[in-house]
């Protein structure tokens, strides 16, 4: 979710634009980022984004319901998984969930891309 791994800064995150576009098309979105921890700092970011990014007002209002505490919670029952930032062992985590959803990899999550039929790597 955040604009780069290891940070909880959502202010310039392209993920927000992606979520907005998907929501406009009626897609139900869930998300996970291990660096995003609920709390006062997180709520301040939401307040800032609603002011600074008025075109993303709906996304910022929906984020508390969109975010999941675990990767399993984010991918449970989904049709597609969009990877927007590198995370350590993400490929292993996704494989461990047993989810067979299509994986759209925007960041080359592993040095050697998977050869699975449900994997699409673009942009690299």
Query: What pLDDT sits at residue 124?
Result: 58
Q: Where are the alpha helices (DSSP H) in 2-89?
A: 14-24, 40-52, 57-66, 71-75
pLDDT score for 22: 95
Q: Which residues of the chain have a pLDDT value below 70?
A: 38, 123-124
Distance CA 70, CA 19 (A): 18
The model carries a pTM of 0.83
Evaluate whether 13 touches 2 at the Cβ level (below 8 Å).
yes
Check residue 4 and give its pLDDT: 82
- Give the model's pLDDT for residue 31: 93
């Amino acid at each position: 979710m955040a604009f780069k791994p290891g940070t909880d800064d959502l202010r310039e995150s392209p993920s927000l634009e992606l979520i907005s576009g998907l929501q406009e098309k009626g897609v139900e979105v869930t998300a996970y980022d291990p660096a995003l921890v609920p709390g006062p700092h997180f709520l301040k970011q939401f307040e800032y984004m609603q002011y600074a990014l008025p075109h993303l007002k709906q996304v910022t209002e929906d984020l508390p319901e969109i975010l999941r505490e675990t990767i399993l919670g984010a991918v449970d029952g989904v049709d597609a998984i969009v990877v927007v930032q590198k995370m350590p062992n993400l490929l292993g985590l996704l494989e461990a969930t047993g989810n067979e959803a299509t994986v759209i990899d925007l960041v080359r999550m592993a040095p050697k891309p998977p050869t699975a039929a449900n994997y699409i790597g673009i942009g690299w």
